[in-house]
Structure 1
Amino acid sequence: MRLSIEPTARTEFGPGVVTDLPAYVDTLTRTRAFVVTDRGLRATGIVGRVEKILASAGLEHAVHEDVGPNPSTAELDRGAARLREFGDAAVIALGGGSALDAAKGISLLAGNPGAAAADADRLWEAQAGLPLIAVPTTSGTGAETNGFGVTEDPCARRKVYIGHPSVKPRIAVLDPELTLSLPPAVTAATGLDALVHGIESLASRGSSPVSAAYAAQAVTLIGRWLPVAHRDGGDLEARSQLMLGAHLAGHALTLSGLGLVHGLGHALTAHTGTPHGIALAAVLEEVMAFTAPSAPAAFEAVGRALHVTPEPDWAEASIAAVREISGALGIKRPLRELGVTTDLIPAIAAGALADAVTKNAPRQPSEEETVDLLRSVF
């Protein structure tokens, strides 16, 4: 076996570490900051808090809040235009996965005058983007661990991967206090996403001993603490452990890649606008059952990480444990409640099969099998 593992970025973890943002900007040899965040975060008080921290340090900054739940190529283009106008700066990605993904694209496009988000497939060989600091406010995507993001091309009705090594965050600022205000539904959706990252990383064709180590610990932490954080959002210990678990899951997926759950989830979101974590929850247990015969060792690892008793086997026990977690979160919905109609199923199946992540699944589904799987959760 041959492994090539890039050094991880600097990670600052713990309650209150966000107050050191000016010092982190300084380490990037920048004197100005451009904050990219989503439209709804200001209402939580987090954006105002970050602005106050930057202003108190005398750091010139601007805040760009034009990012939606599933950022589009047009939103990235608008953000890049504003960043080019603002000028050289450290980019602070503040928010959930959408804000972090958008910030990477905006940073990359700003460093490549004339480029547009629709050029994503050609930008992997582009010039460097501006340096980025990631400040996640959810415990889900693990987007602070890698240099790519997902954006939606509304014309093609598909997800587009945009990224470059230069926009991998230089510093990840993991402050669990920033997640204390998350409502239970958002905690459930983002946490379920992180759990899937761990599970799919263990079963992925790209899994290695290193990614599996990250993934197994992530599944253990998320499996234990996600239901607690969902039940009591003010439990700082639960929020801290969940954030750390999501971060480890991000490292795992960056090394291993994902699989069919995410392929289906991306296609569901593209066709119905369903939030990412809810789309994943709709198909998770069924994909696990479909995949299990092709990845028995991976499902034993999932079961051990979730501390289950393998009766009658690891796969069934793991699926039962995941079903129990989803049930506690109240997150699983049939597809018909997510806006899917029977005539949409073939298009969703085709979208999933065309998604790059699906090719990383240990068992490759046929078009008929994918349609049958979707019908089983309709």
Structure 2
Amino acid sequence: MTTTDTGTPCAGVAAGTFLSGPGPVVDFGPGAVARIPGHLADQGARRVLVVTDRGLRAAGVVDAVLAPVRAAGVAVEVFDDVRGNPAVDVVERGAGHARDLGMDAVLALGGGSSLDAAKGIALLAPTPGARADGTGTPPVAGLPVVAVPTTAGTGAETNGFGVLEDPATRQKVYCGDASVVPRVAVLDPELTHGLPAAPTAATGVDALVHGLESLASRGRDPVSEAFAAEAVRRAWAWLPTAVGDGSNPRARAEMLVAAHLAGQALTRSGLGLVHGLAHSLSLHTGAVHGVALAAVLPEVVGWSLDADPAGWARAAEAAGLPGASALPEALAGVLDAVGTRVSVADLGAVPAQHEALARTALADPVTRNAPRHPSSVDEVVALLGRC
């Protein structure tokens, strides 16, 4: 994630240079999962580790997706130990499992947690002694990854890093490498149709915030701005419908595209303090990531408007608002509409924890790209007091 310091709406052009690398091949459309065997064959995959969670397996989603893969003669092993906010030890255990079984590719199936864990597993598997926290033996190139998101939120299928928890240090760590950028992202909106309203809202808020923060990030460039603006436009228009009517195929498809575009944006631009604080809240309280974002979003955006009026104006334009000053109230309204308008106290964070929350957020690399960077821990504590 870049940390270039900029303050103009076309940052890369103003700086005279920017670099935008390739992302995955995107296979989008209802029924796209039927084409997974061909994508695996293109990678030379014959022994595939499927990284997912037990909920999807119990719901029958894993078996349904793997049916054509098995029919094509691909050997499949399922690793379903992933939980929300995956920890480094789970990734290391999955990597060891893939190594012991001689897997030659990874199929990431699920929400952002499964996709993030899968990328870490793919990276560590070929290198005994490599560690998810960056210590240990430096990893060689990872196994090829094909990513199949089942939620419209993180956009984790767009990049080669995973956000993991290190329980020992109570910090987020970023585990990844260009070699584990998914070779193919299979975007099948039918996989999201059964997602209940609450996780639809939480993951959708994540996608929306990815777009918003990318537009005001210090690291943005014209390419990230284009992805982010379109992501915000789609998510703003379709998230309430996706939450209110989960069987609406247009809303589900639009949100899956919005999440992917937002992932493409953040991969190039980085994010900001909304994500830094949300990561900290999840670590300290166990809050669901999208709900943690919602707890601080309107207040942090309002606090940082003056630091980047051009970036926030672009975000407001994408949302169809008259100007940047309308963003905080309008964001609160969206959160109310999708049932995620909460406070940090609602998440269980008491004032005595605010200093620890602030320190963790300031230490998170994602915070570096915020348009307004806090000058002290006390400034973040005061901001949390308003959230």
TM over 0.5: yes
Query: How far is 1:364 from its partner?
Result: 0.7
The 5-angstrom pairing of residues 45-124 of structure 1 reads 45-118=60-133, 120=134
* Structure 2: gaps of 5 or more residues: 1-15
Match of 1:209 among 205, 222, 225: 222
The 5-angstrom pairing of residues 162-201 of structure 1 reads 162-201=175-214
> Which stretch of the first structure deviates more once superposed, 95-104 or 291-300?
291-300
Query: Which amino acid is the alignment partner of residue 218 of structure 2?
Result: R
Q: Which residue of 2 aligns with 1:285?
A: 298
Q: Which residue of 1 aligns with 2:330?
A: 321
Pair 1:21-2:30 in alignment: no
Aligned residues: 371
Query: How far is 1:8 from its partner?
Result: 2.1
SS of residue in 1 equivalent to 2:127: coil
Query: How far is 1:4 from its partner?
Result: 1.0
Match of 2:342 among 329, 333, 337: 333
1:280-318 Cα shifts (integer Å, max 9, x gaps): 00000001001100111111111111112x2xxx22212
Q: Which residue of 1 aligns with 2:264?
A: 251
* Structure 1: gaps of 5 or more residues: none
Query: Which amino acid is the alignment partner of residue 98 of structure 2?
Result: L
Q: Which residue of 1 aligns with 2:59?
A: 44
Measured in 2, the distance between the counterparts of 1:368 and 1:359 equals 17
Q: TM-score, with normalisation over the residues of structure 2?
A: 0.94
CA contact (8 A) 1:289 1:315 kept: no
Measured in 2, the distance between the counterparts of 1:122 and 1:267 equals 26
1:155-181 Cα shifts (integer Å, max 9, x gaps): 101111100110110100000000001
Query: Which amino acid is the alignment partner of residue 242 of structure 2?
Result: A
Pair 1:351-2:364 in alignment: no
Measured in 2, the distance between the counterparts of 1:333 and 1:8 equals 35
SS of residue in 2 equivalent to 1:181: coil
CA contact (8 A) 2:105 2:122 kept: no
Q: Which residue of 1 aligns with 2:381?
A: 371
Query: How far is 1:319 from its partner?
Result: 2.1
SS of residue in 1 equivalent to 2:218: coil
Q: Which residue of 1 aligns with 2:7?
A: none
Query: How far is 1:122 from its partner?
Result: 7.0
Measured in 2, the distance between the counterparts of 1:328 and 1:26 equals 44
Query: How far is 1:121 from its partner?
Result: 6.0
Moved over 4 A (4+): none
The 5-angstrom pairing of residues 231-250 of structure 1 reads 231-250=244-263
CA contact (8 A) 1:121 1:162 kept: no
1:347-366 Cα shifts (integer Å, max 9, x gaps): 00000011111111111112
CA contact (8 A) 2:240 2:338 kept: yes
1:93-119 Cα shifts (integer Å, max 9, x gaps): 00000000000111111021121223x
SS of residue in 1 equivalent to 2:204: helix
> Which stretch of the first structure deviates more once superposed, 272-281 or 3-12?
3-12
Q: TM-score, with normalisation over the residues of structure 1?
A: 0.96
Query: Which amino acid is the alignment partner of residue 183 of structure 2?
Result: R
CA contact (8 A) 2:302 2:327 kept: no
Pair 1:8-2:60 in alignment: no
CA distance 1:121–1:200, shift in 2 (3 Å): farther
CA contact (8 A) 2:23 2:181 kept: no
Query: How far is 1:33 from its partner?
Result: 1.5
1:212-269 Cα shifts (integer Å, max 9, x gaps): 0000000000000111100000111110011001100000000000000000001111
Query: Which amino acid is the alignment partner of residue 41 of structure 1?
Result: L
Percent sequence identity over matched residues? 52
Measured in 1, the distance between the counterparts of 2:136 and 2:297 equals 32
Q: Which residue of 2 aligns with 1:218?
A: 231
CA distance 1:190–1:154, shift in 2 (3 Å): same
Query: Which amino acid is the alignment partner of residue 342 of structure 1?
Result: P
CA distance 1:189–1:56, shift in 2 (3 Å): same
Query: Which amino acid is the alignment partner of residue 340 of structure 1?
Result: A
CA contact (8 A) 1:306 1:321 kept: no
Measured in 2, the distance between the counterparts of 1:126 and 1:95 equals 25
Query: Which amino acid is the alignment partner of residue 134 of structure 1?
Result: A
Measured in 1, the distance between the counterparts of 2:259 and 2:272 equals 17
1:188-235 Cα shifts (integer Å, max 9, x gaps): 000000000000000000011110000000000000011110000011
Query: How far is 1:126 from its partner?
Result: 2.8
Measured in 1, the distance between the counterparts of 2:330 and 2:245 equals 21
Higher relative contact order, structure no. (Cα contacts within 8 Å, ≥ 6 residues apart):
2
RMSD: 1.2
CA distance 1:75–1:208, shift in 2 (3 Å): same
Measured in 2, the distance between the counterparts of 1:165 and 1:63 equals 24
CA contact (8 A) 2:355 2:378 kept: no
Match of 1:33 among 48, 60, 64: 48
